Amino acid sequence: MTRQLLLGGFEEFTPSFISNAWPHALSDPAGFAGLTGWTELARELEAGGFDFLFFADAIGYPMVEDDIPETVVREAVQFPVHDPIPLIAALAARVPRLGFAVTASTTADAPFLLARRFATLDALTDGRVGWNVVTSDLQTALVRLLGQRSVTPHDERYDRADEFVDLALQLWEGGWSDGAIVADKAARIFTDPAAVHRIRHSGRYFDFDGLFPVAPSPQRSPVLFQAGTSPRGRRFAGRIAEVVFIQERDSARAAAIVADLRDLAQAAGRPRDAVRIVNSISVVVGRTEQQARELRASLEAAPSRDAMAALFLGWSGVNLLGLDPATPMSSLSTEVGQTTLASAQHAGATVGEALDSLTAALGGPKITGTADQAADGIERLAADTDVDGFLIEHTFGGLATYRAVLDEVIPRLRDRGLVPAVPRGGTLRERLTGGGARLPARHPGAAFRV
């Protein structure tokens, strides 16, 4: 039986995302901060059968110690970048089915505040929300903007994330019993005090003692996404993630990552299929293959070399422009974005080679061709890698990114049985995992239920 693919759109609340191609003729970034363009995009994605719209997020912007490269501001490299949480609340009121996932950092946030925010958002969206759990890139900016004293080492950030997520899950799953709200006017009892439970937590990184003041939402816990593919990040994902997204361009490596993530989920006491895995892909479609290739070339030529290097700096913590072009890429390491650095190391043996290939190297596989060729490429990637679906990456921006995918590619995938004839509904967890609205019994968060 053909497995039907999960489909998401991959965006950030900024005029320019992965491609940095806002100067392109097809891009229209000026109104990025308003609701009109995002509403149009969400409605089209919903009508076209997408399951969710995924928002990456960046609290800071690329920096080198005390220096903010002028390129960052001048060429819109994750600057400006706005808060996607209010945007999701507004969009969910305008589209009744589409789900939403959003990045939030365990390094920059506090468990109680994040749990409160996501429980509120899950209620407002009727259970259509996921949390992409990250430990944060842009570590230098976190030190400068949030007053953190130093950059936290990579693996220690995951130690903190483990405790952070466990405490958030305890608040969502264990703070209230079912049926706690009775709203009995005659007895003057809105909430049964016996059904609201005091949470006490004393750990290495966090302490909490009190009640969780947000009533249970449809999912209780948002769907847990995760994106780190470092060895420590994969172990973290195997324990808690319900959806993992990767950006792996080599099919053999992607297949190995998929198998490893499922092995790690099983080692953590969960079913192998407890983790859904989606790979981000960049899709450019033309009436002919030649037209598509010309369009891809114009997309890759739109950003400057400095702008792409600044984007890489923000994601990886490595300033390639500050290094001798002859420096071997294999000699570089980072405590910030190990996955991003690895992608550039695959793309070029030296710093100079990597700089020349960044526009093509960042992000997931590039699918370029006619609509039939794009559908063939997506079908082949799914078969070769065993992923469960794809995130369609921001390319030109707004509907220009998705127009040909919606109009030409998805109908072909639907004809092949790779996309449902009727779009999936229900809560985000129900549509992405095929289970119920609540965390499954073998997820570690289920142990906190009362």
Is the pLDDT assigned to residue 1 strictly greater than 70? no
Provide the pairing of β-strand 276-285 with 223-226.
unpaired
In a domain, 1, yes or no: no
What number of other Cβ atoms are within 10 A of residue 380's Cβ? 12
In a domain, 340, yes or no: no
In a domain, 347, yes or no: no
The tens digit of pLDDT for each residue in 87-123 reads: 999 999 999 999 999 999 998 899 999 999 999 999 9
In a domain, 432, yes or no: yes
> What is the rounded average pLDDT for all residues in the chain?
92
Q: pTM here?
A: 0.93
In a domain, 264, yes or no: yes
The tens digit of pLDDT for each residue in 8-36 reads: 999 999 998 988 899 999 999 999 999 99
CATH number assigned to the domain comprising residue 219? 3.20.20.30
Three-state secondary-structure class, residue 111: helix
Question: Based on the structure, what is the number of domains in the chain?
Answer: 1
3-state per-residue secondary structure call for 61-83: CCCECCECCHHHHHCCCCCCCCC
In a domain, 150, yes or no: yes
What residue numbers bound the domain in which 198 lies? 6-281+365-448
Which amino acid type is present at position 419?
V
The tens digit of pLDDT for each residue in 160-217 reads: 999 999 999 999 999 999 999 999 999 999 999 999 999 999 999 999 999 999 999 9
pLDDT of residue 11: 97
- The least confident of 135-139, 238-242, 283-287, 387-391 is 135-139
* E strand residue ranges, 274-411: 276-285, 366-369, 389-393
DSSP string, 154-195: HHHHHHHHHHHHHHHHHHHHHSB-TT-EEEETTTTEEE-GGG
Per-residue pLDDT, averaged over 148-154, amounts to: 69
The tens digit of pLDDT for each residue in 310-365 reads: 888 877 778 877 778 888 888 887 766 666 777 667 766 787 777 777 777 778 99
In a domain, 193, yes or no: yes
In a domain, 344, yes or no: no
